[in-house]
Chains A and B, each alone.
Chain A
């Protein structure tokens, strides 16, 4: 296999692992959350669907749906970061991840969500940013936007417990 073919195979394996990690959580499927990947960077996508509506008169996304989307983005980023490190190391552990057996999910300790703008009935995006990675606890900030990234509709700050160190 040429080096180019090998790289294509690796990228396909990474995409498959991300799709499997997304699908393994029923609540991700329930909300319809998907992830785009550029290298190790993830962008979460929440395509608009009628069941996400909170206020049918405006109409606006349910604050709970937006909050849940931010939390999913945070947890998935942490789970993906761990899976990524394991995949990069290779060997038996990497084979396990590639076959869909992922390390334990991180646990939410606390989150604060700021609602900045009303969520319109259209697709929403989110990206998480690691602010501090401790031995047991990591701090993440997540921002969600719709049309313009510099006009976020909601932001989340949170502390998460990572099993067996981050």
Chain B
């Protein structure tokens, strides 16, 4: 059984290798509606993206995407990172999410979100994520999220 990484050092700031086009997240209606794409989600690491779309604009003058889109993306990426841990989970629900906005997103560019689940207890999963265009070291926003997890009844004591 793979464990989430427990190191508390800053998450990798290396840009991922070519993320490719990813897959439209068709199973989650709201994610699908926004146009979220899943590039990778395994062992507590998730990479997702939202291509630029005029319907997502928050500032009509500049054309910059609404912060709410980034909130939705980071929430989904953190939740997916928890789900991708190789442990059986019945459900995952966001408990809280903190987002710092470092700079506006660039008009016309795809926003990526890299998330990791770095610690898991019996009932809580701790995550962090960063939203960016080209590299996580030039972030648009960063997030820290706690998720409440429900394990299968028979695993509650052993996990």
Contacts and interface: CB of A to CB of B under 8 A. Distances in A.
A120 interface: no
Contacts of A137: none
Interface in A99-118: 104-105, 107-115, 118
A108 B29 contact: no
A39 interface: no
Interface residues of B, number: 38
Contacts of B97: 63, 67, 112-113, 115
A51 interface: yes
Interface in A113-134: 113-115, 118
Nearest to A58: B91
Contacts of B27: 56
Given A52-B30, A68-B71, A71-B71, A111 B98 contact: yes
Given A53-B29, A68-B68, A110 B99 contact: yes
B55 A63 contact: no
Contact of A115 (B30, B93, B104): B93
A138 interface: no
Interface residues of A, number: 37
Interface stretch (B2-10, B11-19, B72-80, B118-126): B72-80
B25 to A, nearest CB: 10
Contacts of B95: 114-115
B30 A54 contact: yes
B61 interface: yes
Contacts of B96: 112-115
B29 A56 contact: yes
10 contacts: A26-B54, A27-B68, A54-B28, A56-B28, A62-B28, A63-B76, A65-B30, A107-B104, A110-B100, A113-B94
Interface of A: 24-27, 29-31, 50-56, 61-65, 67-69, 71-72, 75, 104-105, 107-115, 118
Interface of B: 27-34, 54-61, 65-69, 71-76, 79, 93-101, 104
